[in-house]
Chain A
Amino acid sequence: MSDSKVNMVAPPEGVVGEGFFATKLNDVVGLARANSLWPLPFATSCCGIEFMATMASHYDLARFGSERVSFSPRQADMLLVMGTISKKMAPILRQVYEQMSEPRWVIAVGACASSGGIFDTYSVLQGIDKVIPVDVYVPGCPPRPEQIVDGVMKLQELVKTESVRRRSSPEYQELLASYNIK
C-alpha cells in the first residue's frame, strides 16, 4: 500500500501477457510525445507574464511533462505564442516556426495571438494563423494559468491521437504549402 500521490499515465490499449505487451506503434509514440512536450515560449506581452505564473511554483506546468522550457526552437515541440504579434514581428515568428523540427505543434495563447484581440489596428497582425498553422487556441485576455494548462492538456490529447504518418501526408504538405512554409 503506497500513499504516493504520483499519477502514472495509463498504458494504451493492448494485449498483455506474461513478459510482453503488444499495442499499436501509433499509441506508444503518441503517449511518449504527449507527455514530454517541450515548450518554446514566444512571449511578447501580458500573456507571457501569465505564462511565467504557469511555469512557477503555484501552477507548475512541469507536471505535464513540460519541465524543460526549450528556448531553442530546434529542440522544442510546442510553440506557445503569447501576446500580441505585430506586423513587424510576424516574419520573426514565422522564422522561429520554420526553425522548429517536425513534429511541431502551436498553441495560440490569448486573444491577441488568436485574433488580434482588442488591438484592431494598423500595426497588429490579426491572429497568428495568418502566418503559421495553429493547433490549439486559448481564449482570454490574458488567459488564467488554468486555461493555459487546459490548452496544453488539449494539445496532449491531439498529440496522443495523431498518426505517426500525419507529418508526411499530402494533406499536411498542402497545409504547409498554403502558408508557404517549406
Chain B
Amino acid sequence: MSELLLPPEHRYAKIIKEQLNEDGNELSILNLGPTHPATHGIFQNILLMDGERILDAEPTIGYIHRAFEKIAENRPFYQITPLTDRMNYCSSPINNMGWWMTLEKLLGIEVPKRAQYLRVIVMELARITDHLICNSILGVDTGAYTGFLYVFQFREKVYEIYEEICGARLTTNMGRIGGFERDWSPEAFRKLDIFLEEFPVAWKEFENLFERNRIFIDRTVNVGAISAEKAMAYGFTGPNLRAAGIDYDVRVAQPYSSYEDFDFKVPVGKSGDTYDRFCVRNAEVWESLSIIRQALDKMPEGNEYHAEVPDYYLPPKEDVYNNMESLIYHFKIVMGEVPVPVAEIYHPVEGGNGEIGFYLVTDGSRTPYRLHFRRPCFIYYQAYPEMIKGALLSDAIVILSSLNVIAGELDA
C-alpha cells in the first residue's frame, strides 16, 4: 500500500524496501493529513512508522498559503489590518494592535495612556481566548470533550465584548493609527465586568478537571518534551519556550503599550513537555485576567481613545460632511497623500504563540515597500518532526495541538 502513496524515488520508499525493524517486521508509511480531522488545520506529515511508533516525519506545509506579504505590498497601510486578522485568527486583536504599533513607531505617534490601557485589555482578552482554544482542544484530543464544550461558551462572551468594541467577532480589524476607531461603550465595560466575574470560576473548574487528571497526565507528561537549548535553536518563543524553562516574554523584555505599568508574572515550566505547555498556558490566563483587572483599576479618567493625529486618523464621518478641514484630511488619508517617512521598522509583540514581529520597509509611498511578518508558528513548527520522533501516533496529535500551530499563521 505504501508504495502507492509515495513516488518510488522518495527516501522513505527506499527505507521501507530495505529496512526491517528489530523484530524483523516491515516498516510502514502513513500519510497524516492534510485533512486529517485531528490536526485542526491543514498540515501534512508523511510518517515513517514502526508499528505505532514514529521513526521519522516529513512535514509539508503551504496548503493555505495566501500570499499576505505580496498583498501587503499592494495595499495602503491602513488596509493591512484585515490581513493581520487572518494570520493568527485565534487572537486577531493582538496582531491588529501590533500592526498599529508598528505604524505608530514609524510615524512617531504617542498614544494616550487610556488608549494604551484599552489596548492592553483587548490584547489580554485575545490571549485568553487563544490559550482557551489551545487548552480545550488539547482536552478534546486526549479524550475530554466536556472541557471544550464548557469553556467555549466563555469564548462567546469574549466575542460579545469584541462586538461591542468593534462590531466583529473573530476577524476584528480593530483600532486605527493612534488608538481606536470609537470609544468603548459602557456596555463593553459592563460585559467585561461580567466576564471577569464568571470566567475565573469556570476556568478554575476546567483546570481542576485536567491538572490532576490521571488520564490527562498519562497522555501528556513526558510527551513531546523539548529542551531549552533545542527550543532556542529552533526559534521558539512564547508559551512553548516558557514551558521549556526560559522566561523570555516580549511584554517584559521590550514593553509596548504600557505593559511596564502592570505587575504580572511570567510563568515558566521545566521540562518543555505537553503537560508543561498546558500548565504554562493555564497560568498565563490567570496572569492575563490580573492584567485586565489592573488596567481597569488604573484606567485614567476621561474618554480619550485616540491620539490627536489628524494627518493619519480618519475624522468622524459627520465632520467630513460638514467641515472643510476634516474633508481635506479624509481625502488625503484615503487617497494616500500623507507623507510617510522612509525607514525600516521592526516591531515585536507577544502574540498568543510567541513573538509576532512586523518588519516594515517603507519607501515613502502609500504602500509598504516590503512587509515581512515574523510568524512564530511558522518558525517553531519546523521542530515538530523532531519532537514526534519516537512517539506514538496518538501522541503526535497531542503534541501538535499543544504547540497550538495555527495554519493561517504558519502559511501566511
Residues of A within 8 A of B155 (CB): 53
Residues of B within 8 A of A92 (CB): 34-35, 63
Q: Is A164 an interface residue (CB 8 A)?
A: no
Residues of A within 8 A of B408 (CB): 45-46
Report whether B70 and A83 are in contact in the complex, using a CB–CB cutoff of 8 Å.
Answer: no
Residues of B within 8 A of A119 (CB): 66-67, 71
Q: What 0/1 readout, one digit per residue, does chain A (61-81) give for beta carbons within 8 Å of chain B?
A: 000000000010000000000
Report whether B67 and A56 are in contact in the complex, using a CB–CB cutoff of 8 Å.
Answer: no
Report whether A144 and B171 are in contact in the complex, using a CB–CB cutoff of 8 Å.
Answer: no
Report whether B407 and A142 are in contact in the complex, using a CB–CB cutoff of 8 Å.
Answer: no
Residues of B within 8 A of A49 (CB): 89-90, 133, 170
Residue in chain B with minimal CB distance to A112: B66
A119 to B34, CA, bound (A): 21
Q: Is B235 an interface residue (CB 8 A)?
A: no
A85 to B411, CA, bound (A): 12
A95 to B406, CA, bound (A): 24
Report whether B66 and A124 are in contact in the complex, using a CB–CB cutoff of 8 Å.
Answer: yes
The distance from the CB of A58 to the nearest CB of chain B, in whole angstroms, is 5
The distance from the CB of B285 to the nearest CB of chain A, in whole angstroms, is 18
Report whether A46 and B171 are in contact in the complex, using a CB–CB cutoff of 8 Å.
Answer: yes
Residue in chain A with minimal CB distance to B67: A121
Q: Is B64 an interface residue (CB 8 A)?
A: yes
Q: Is A27 an interface residue (CB 8 A)?
A: no
Q: Is A123 an interface residue (CB 8 A)?
A: yes
Q: How many A residues touch B, CB cutoff 8 Å? A: 33
Which residues from 36 to 67 on chain B have a C-beta closer than 8 Å to any C-beta of chain A? 37, 40-42, 62-67
Q: Is B77 an interface residue (CB 8 A)?
A: no
Number of inter-chain CB pairs below 8 Å: 91
Residue in contact with B153 in the complex, picked from A48, A58, A122, CB distance below 8 Å = A58
A43 to B63, CA, bound (A): 12
Given contacts A53-B152, A118-B82, contact A44 B70 (CB under 8 A): no
Report whether A88 and B89 are in contact in the complex, using a CB–CB cutoff of 8 Å.
Answer: no
Q: Is B209 an interface residue (CB 8 A)?
A: no
A141 to B40, CA, bound (A): 19
The distance from the CB of B99 to the nearest CB of chain A, in whole angstroms, is 15
Report whether A56 and B152 are in contact in the complex, using a CB–CB cutoff of 8 Å.
Answer: yes
Q: Is B176 an interface residue (CB 8 A)?
A: no
Residues of B within 8 A of A83 (CB): 64
Q: Is B149 an interface residue (CB 8 A)?
A: yes
Report whether A57 and B152 are in contact in the complex, using a CB–CB cutoff of 8 Å.
Answer: yes
Given contacts A56-B152, A96-B35, contact A46 B86 (CB under 8 A): yes
Q: Is B148 an interface residue (CB 8 A)?
A: yes
Residues of B within 8 A of A144 (CB): 169
A49 to B130, CA, bound (A): 11
Q: Is A156 an interface residue (CB 8 A)?
A: no
Residues of B within 8 A of A44 (CB): 41-42, 63-64, 407
Report whether B64 and A45 are in contact in the complex, using a CB–CB cutoff of 8 Å.
Answer: yes
Report whether A121 and B64 are in contact in the complex, using a CB–CB cutoff of 8 Å.
Answer: no
Residues of A within 8 A of B (CB): 41-46, 48-50, 52-53, 56-58, 71, 83-86, 88-89, 92, 96, 118-124, 141-142, 144
23 A–B contacts from the bound complex (CB under 8 Å): A43-B40, A43-B41, A44-B63, A44-B407, A45-B89, A46-B89, A46-B170, A46-B408, A49-B90, A50-B169, A57-B149, A57-B152, A58-B152, A84-B66, A86-B64, A88-B62, A89-B63, A118-B82, A124-B67, A141-B171, A142-B169, A142-B170, A142-B171
